[in-house]
Amino acid sequence: MIKIFKADESHVAGIAKVCTEGYWATYQELLTKERIQRIVEEFYNHERILQEVTHSDRNWGGYFVAVENNVVVGAGGGGGMIDETTGELYVLYVDPSRRNEGIGTMILDAITKQQKEEFNATEQWVSVAKGNMKGIPFYEARGFVFQHERASYGNAEGEDYVSLRYFRKL
Ligand SMILES: CC(C)(COP(=O)(O)OP(=O)(O)OC[C@H]1O[C@@H](n2cnc3c(N)ncnc32)[C@H](O)[C@@H]1OP(=O)(O)O)[C@@H](O)C(=O)NCCC(=O)NCCS
């Protein structure tokens, strides 16, 4: 049985693994190896994730994990508020071999509940890389609607990757 938890120290290694593997599986055809390596090292290292599971506030709601037989099979995070009533979803990955079983929806629901109940969110935004067909159909199925394009966060000198901003009312 799959259960959803607010992540703690015991989930750090599992979050790092699922996000790293998910990131590679999602972006190997879209981004250069160098960019993937840079992002994975910056965001999904154990030290950073440990900080992010032990400190949460309005701007960063912590990580939520989907756990099956003590193994992290999905992780999502952020739950951060970007203004009074607007929540942002920062991260969402499911074990690449476990997609389309409903796990992503369970994690998104937990983050959404937190944003609504703890932070009074009435809308939710997410950025998806242009061309990410492992992510875009999921958000559209969950009621997110495309709003506009913008330069991807973390573009290095000379990189011009584009992200799509999606929005839904809660
Ligand atoms: C995005 C992701 C987290 C979703 O988690 P998941 O467990 O696979 O998703 P779920 O099984 O909960 O839901 C999938 C939904 O997307 C829909 N979907 C999936 N692929 C689709 C497609 N090609 N066309 C139309 N709908 C599609 C399914 O129909 C389902 O909706 P439904 O329940 O209404 O039928 C996961 O697929 C993933 O890790 N993707 C790669 C990483 C990624 O892109 N993350 C987002 C970065 S911003």
Domain containing residue 10: CATH number: 3.40.630.30
Note the pLDDT of residue 93. 98
How many whole angstroms from 98 Cα to the centroid of ligand 1? 10
Q: What is the pLDDT of residue 5?
A: 96
Does the beta carbon of 16 lie inside 6 Å of ligand 1?
A: no
* pLDDT for the residue 157: 83
pLDDT in the model for residue 164: 97
pLDDT score, position 153: 83
Q: How many whole angstroms separate alpha carbon 120 and alpha carbon 129?
A: 27
CA atoms within 13 A on the CB side of 68: 12
How much is the pLDDT for 87? 96
Determine whether the shortest distance from the Cβ of 99 to ligand 1 is under 6 A. yes
The structural domain count of the chain equals: 1
- Please name which of 112, 76, 120 lies closest in space to residue 94, comparing C-alpha atoms: 76
Nearest CA to ligand 1 atom 33: 102
The confidence score (pLDDT) of residue 158 equals 84
What confidence score (pLDDT) does residue 80 get?
84
Which residue has the CA at smallest separation from atom 17 of ligand 1? 138
Element (H, E) at 137: helix 136-141
Residue-wise pLDDT for 41-59, tens only, equals: 999 999 999 999 999 899 9
Supply the residue whose CA is at minimum distance from atom 12 of ligand 1: 102
Residues of the chain with pLDDT under 70: none
| Ligand 1 pocket, residue 143 CB under 6 Å | no
99: helix, strand or coil: coil
- Domain that residue 149 falls in: 2-169
Q: Which residues contact 123 (CB under 8 A, 6 or more apart)?
A: 85, 86, 87, 167, 168, 169, 170
